[in-house]
Structure 1
Amino acid sequence: MDAERETEKEELLKSEDVFRNNALTIIFEMVELSNESAAPVELVDEVLHSIFFLGKINQPPFSPEMIFVNDEEMLEELKLSYPRPFDLYSSQLPKRSPFSCVLDMIVILKEEENENVIMEALQELNRQLFRGREAKPLISSTVCVSQKDKNSVRYYGVSMSTSGSIPGQIVVAASCYSYWDSCVADAVMTYYPNTIKKNYFDGTIRLPETIRCQAFRLSDRTEILPCVKCGNLFGLRSSGVNKWAYGNCAEVESVSNLVKNEREIKERVRPTSETLTDENRKRVKRSVMNRLKGLLRDVGFTWDNKVYPNIDLR
């Protein structure tokens, strides 16, 4: 029995080291990038909140002080420069996962047309992140690029950098309400939180075949075909692999950014199902909200009904 307890203790320490290492790596990278003249510092603010929130609901919980246990000077500097994440991570939800903030920072600084440069920057950071035997906290494994045509603006997305089912479901729900384009959110909520399509609401869309929606594994930049879930959501040709929960793939964020910014594409893909009534949309959003509140109760999170920074969902 003592040997079993010792093994459990060692595994717990390993998981804590992985979370702390990855949190510090991402935070240091974002702080360094924020020193460039064109860098939007609000993305540092947002990534801090997202990491601190995921630390709070982690098992075991991880406070900011635990993350910076060996660097109190950095902790105090961040508290002075970015006080809101420290004040609000224990009451407000993030609208997206941390690596999404990193992606935005890199795309802004490297410029969207420089796809290879952006990919290399993401890969380099990905290589620095520690992958435990099981848990991979705060890591995005894939990136997706969408374009209206081969000569148009590129829109990027990364997979959810959450570890475990409950954190992923919480951030997916928050993204449906506050981050993704409504067209993409409707598609995800058609299934969320289960794998069975709702019989009273169909918000799935079908992207034209002329649209580029191409995903890559970040570890080696190997192209990967969309999974079954993304095929169901967006009408993409699927690999037949049915691995991730709805809303977790890089295609979701990438397509959301595409339709947010390309009005013509959004009009072309807008679903026409007879189930898309105002009443049914309210019903599906209530269903998602009820699930979200139940998950937050399960992890002991006292929510003020806001998504950071101060998007009120009441």
Structure 2
Amino acid sequence: MVNFVEANTRQVQIFAKSETQFFYKFLHFIATSVRERRLNGDRGRAYIKEECKTHLPTRPPYTVLLDAIVEIKGTRNAEDVLRCLLDLTDKMDVTNDEGKQCGNVLVSTVISCCNFNDVTTNYFGASVSCMGWKQRKAMINILCCKTWHKDISWAVCVGNTYNEKAFTFPAGVCSMAFNIYSSAKATEQKQRIERAKARLQRFQMIRSRNIANILEPFGTLVPREPCKYCFIMFPDICFDPSSHSHNAGKWEYGNCAECESLSQLLYSDENIVQRLKRETFTKTPEVLLNEKYNQLKEYLEKLNFNFGNRILYYNNQA
């Protein structure tokens, strides 16, 4: 019991430190961008204000940071955006009570970018970064019910229910994914990173290797194959690197960064949406999303979140 309490206390301390460090660096980044007139003041305030106790966030903090970087940098060039993201991530490391750097629990483990016939116009996403499996499942349900493009939400629901794809993308959609490590985490995971890079040597990944090498001084981005679930949901996408031998992990449909980046892509181009070839299932998209909504309410009750008669989502435009 003592060991459990001590371990739990350390975990809580690391989470508290992570939260403080994350928001301090995030606020500094936003404030500096506003001061240098790279970001409008109203947009800056929209990124930093919150109503945590009564309104649900509609995306994880790291995804908000990623979106802010794209707006502030004014580009969708993968090298520029990922360089800035990795630089900020490197500054968010926290130390445990033994003085050892241990990363930041609010930082996602995987970053994804995708494009449609244009490698200079990328759309970015991060894996769901939440502490605790209940929180993670609740956030995936929120993303499906409120945030993601309806077709990506449907793809996640179909994957969960039928273990099949919901639709086919038109030819020309490409996606890259990376494990992201700060300098401290890269040092800690050095052997694992070298094994991963060696394993990927046999794949053709010219673009992803170039990005990883350019960003090396700031930390490490390691090209990563999509998981089994991504191949099931999006089998027609050109993944770089690509390997069908990648096994499913302990996560679930919707946890991966690819869902967020592909949602951004669909929001950006109605032409792609119109060209999706949708499959037919017994349960309609409305029924599947309603099941997700009911699951969300169940997880919120388990987390003692006070939502009253109906769920209220945070609106950064209000």
Residue equivalent to 2:313: 307
1:118 to 63, 75, 81: 81
The within-5 A match list for 1:195-210 is 197-198=161-162, 204-210=166-172
Residue equivalent to 2:115: 147
Matched, 1:170 2:138: yes
TM-superposed CA distance for 1:145, in Å, is: 1.4
1:161 to 122, 129, 147: 129
Change (3 A) 1:12 1:154: closer
Contact 1:225 1:239 (C-alpha < 8 Å) held by counterparts: no
TM-superposed CA distance for 1:210, in Å, is: 2.5
Q: Distance in 2 between matches of 1:3 and 1:218?
A: 31
Contact 1:22 1:137 (C-alpha < 8 Å) held by counterparts: no
Greater RCO, CA 8 A, separation 6+: 2
The within-5 A match list for 1:129-144 is 129-130=92-93, 136-144=104-112
Q: Distance in 2 between matches of 1:12 and 1:143?
A: 25
Q: Distance in 1 between matches of 2:8 and 2:257?
A: 33
SS of the equivalent of 1:255 reads helix
Change (3 A) 1:208 1:240: farther
Residue equivalent to 2:189: none
Letter matched to residue 295 of structure 1: Y
SS of the equivalent of 2:169 reads coil
The within-5 A match list for 1:275-290 is 275=282, 280-290=284-294
TM-superposed CA distance for 1:44, in Å, is: 4.8
Identity rate, percent: 21
Contact 2:127 2:257 (C-alpha < 8 Å) held by counterparts: yes
Q: List per-residue Cα deviations over 1:99-158 (Å, max 9, x = no partner).
A: 111111111222334321211101111112226798952112222111111356221112
Q: Distance in 1 between matches of 2:39 and 2:80?
A: 16
Residue equivalent to 2:211: none
SS of the equivalent of 1:162 reads coil
SS of the equivalent of 1:120 reads helix
Change (3 A) 1:282 1:28: same
Matched, 1:265 2:272: yes
Matched, 1:292 2:296: yes
Q: Distance in 2 between matches of 1:118 and 1:310?
A: 22
Matched, 1:218 2:156: no
Residue equivalent to 2:213: none
Contact 1:99 1:158 (C-alpha < 8 Å) held by counterparts: yes
Q: List per-residue Cα deviations over 1:208-234 (Å, max 9, x = no partner).
A: 453211112222222211111111121
TM-superposed CA distance for 1:161, in Å, is: 2.4
Unaligned runs of 5+ in 1: 49-81
Change (3 A) 1:4 1:107: closer
Q: List per-residue Cα deviations over 1:48-105 (Å, max 9, x = no partner).
A: 4xxxxxxxxxxxxxxxxxxxxxxxxxxxxxxxxx4xx2xx311111111111111111
Contact 1:215 1:226 (C-alpha < 8 Å) held by counterparts: yes
SS of the equivalent of 2:59 reads coil
SS of the equivalent of 2:275 reads helix
- TM-score scaled by structure 2? 0.72
Contact 2:46 2:316 (C-alpha < 8 Å) held by counterparts: no
TM-superposed CA distance for 1:283, in Å, is: 1.9
Letter matched to residue 245 of structure 1: E
Letter matched to residue 145 of structure 1: C
Letter matched to residue 295 of structure 2: R
Letter matched to residue 252 of structure 1: C
Contact 1:186 1:203 (C-alpha < 8 Å) held by counterparts: no
The within-5 A match list for 1:75-114 is 82=49, 85=50, 88-114=51-77
The within-5 A match list for 1:170-189 is 170-189=138-157
Q: Distance in 2 between matches of 1:46 and 1:203?
A: 36
**Count, aligned residues:** 265
The within-5 A match list for 1:227-238 is 227-235=227-235, 236=237, 238=244
Residue equivalent to 2:90: 127
Q: Distance in 2 between matches of 1:172 and 1:119?
A: 24
Q: Distance in 1 between matches of 2:112 and 2:80?
A: 14
TM-superposed CA distance for 1:45, in Å, is: 4.7
TM-superposed CA distance for 1:285, in Å, is: 1.9
Q: Distance in 1 between matches of 2:5 and 2:119?
A: 59
SS of the equivalent of 1:129 reads coil
Residue equivalent to 1:190: 158
CA RMSD of aligned residues (A): 2.9
Change (3 A) 1:218 1:209: farther
Contact 2:93 2:102 (C-alpha < 8 Å) held by counterparts: no
